[in-house]
Amino acid sequence: MTSWTWQSLSLDDAGWISELMTRWRPHDPVDPVVLRHRWANFRLDHVQGRWALRDAAGNVVGFGAANHPPWEREPGRIGDWDLNLAPEVRPQADGIIAALEEWLRRDGARAAAADAEGDEHWLLAALAARRYEQVSAERFWKLDLLKRRDTLLELARESEAKVTSEGLALLTFDRYLTRPQAWDKVVALYQETEADIPQNPGDHMLTPPEIVAELQAPDVRPDRVWVVVAGDDLAGLSFLSFPPIRGQVWTGYTATARRYRGRGAAWAAKMATLAQAIELGVSEVRTGNDERNAPILRINERLGYELLPGWLRFRRPL
């Protein structure tokens, strides 16, 4: 039986952990600066553990993490775990997952949840063996900006003209931040629109500090975040994530305030991000959306996004 050692990690370990995660899944590179920012700014009120997994020879062969919110906020006592393994140890995933589950169980969890991409066959097999049940799915898509360039630029022009005719204005976030109570309005937009996204028991909604941290992340530049405004009122927002060192360009968030829906605000902001990405020389943009979010899925199909292996969520009682 293989002997494992679990080494606790700090923020300063994000760099070399990102290198290993990228080596183990080269088609899905992890940016070290972005990873450190996420560790430092998200789920700070959760009980968390992060570990490097070492084999008997001392080699790092995996990264594991587990967390749960304060139990008074989570009556179902659902905790999350995450696991990345080197290919040579993936056949032994069952025992490693059991150790992460035990950490959650000792801390009072009654159920465990985990995510896997649709092409992570080793992890999907391990989850099935441990009797996890799928509870939701997120579709991943990619958009070829080179192939769709002319169509996307024309749609961007049309969508800006549409919001202008509605008495709205399209501008970048750095300009919007000079307006009164800008951050308060951004937080309010997030909180209103996140509530409309399909959720599962145990899902984490961003806190106000996390919303600010998301828009101040190293992969999010204020001159690449697009907003639609009515005077100083925030009607819609959209941005792309541009990892500074390595990684894919992804859609970060797109939203419209409820009272402005039907006037093209989110569409115009989204099209502005894609037009800007084309101007910056980006060849491909990716996005992920819950399969229950029908309006966004229709938008992706209209724009010509191509489907990729998705993101599946699983849960089991402990």
CATH 3.40.50.300 given to domain 5-131: no
Residue 201 pLDDT: 65
* Buried-exposed string 139-149: b where 16+ CB fall within 10 A, e elsewhere: bbbbbebeebe
> Which of the four pLDDT bands, split at 50, 70 and 90, describes residue 133?
very high
Which of 223, 227, 218, 225 has the alpha carbon at shortest distance from 240? 225
**pLDDT tens, position by position, 43-99:** 899 999 999 999 999 999 999 999 999 999 888 999 999 999 999 999 999 999 999
Triad 190, 306, 127: Cα angle to 5°? 75
**pLDDT tens, position by position, 266-279:** 999 999 999 999 99
What is the chain's mean pLDDT, rounded? 93
Residue 202 pLDDT: 63
- Are the C-beta atoms of residues 264 and 166 closer than 8 Å to each other? yes
Which is higher by pLDDT, 200 or 240? 240
**pLDDT tens, position by position, 246-297:** 999 999 999 999 999 989 999 999 999 999 999 999 999 998 875 556 667 7
Residue 99 pLDDT: 97
DSSP H helices, 114-241, are: 121-129, 149-165, 173-176, 182-194, 208-215
- What integer is the mean pLDDT of 137-148? 92
- What integer is the mean pLDDT of 146-172? 96
Residue 46 pLDDT: 93
**Per mean pLDDT, which range of 159-173, 218-232, 278-292, 293-307 is the poorest?**
293-307
**pLDDT tens, position by position, 19-55:** 999 999 999 999 999 999 999 999 899 999 999 999 9
Question: Which class does domain 142-308 fall in?
Answer: alpha beta
Is 142-308 the same fold as 5-131?
A: yes
- What integer is the mean pLDDT of 107-122? 96
311 membership: H or E segment, kind and range:
strand 306-317
Parallel, antiparallel or unpaired: strands 78-85 and 111-117: parallel
State the DSSP string of 88-129: GGGGGHHHHHHHHHHHHHHTT-SEEEEEEETT-HHHHHHHHH
- In total, the chain counts a number of residues equal to 318
Helix axes 208-215, 32-41, angle to 10 degrees: 160
Residue 290 pLDDT: 55
> Which of the four pLDDT bands, split at 50, 70 and 90, describes residue 2?
low
- Are the C-beta atoms of residues 64 and 81 closer than 8 Å to each other? yes
What strands, in cross-sheet order, belong to the sheet with 133-144?
A: 5-8, 47-54, 60-68, 78-85, 111-117, 306-317, 133-144, 284-290, 250-256, 233-241, 225-230, 169-172
Residue 212: CA count within 13 A, CB half-sphere: 7
Helix axes 32-41, 14-24, angle to 10 degrees: 120
**pLDDT tops 50 at residue 1:** no
As beta bridge partners, residue 225 has: 239
The pTM of the whole model exceeds 0.85: yes
Which of 249, 216, 225 has the alpha carbon at shortest distance from 40? 216
What are the sequence ranges of the domains in the chain? Answer: 5-131, 142-308
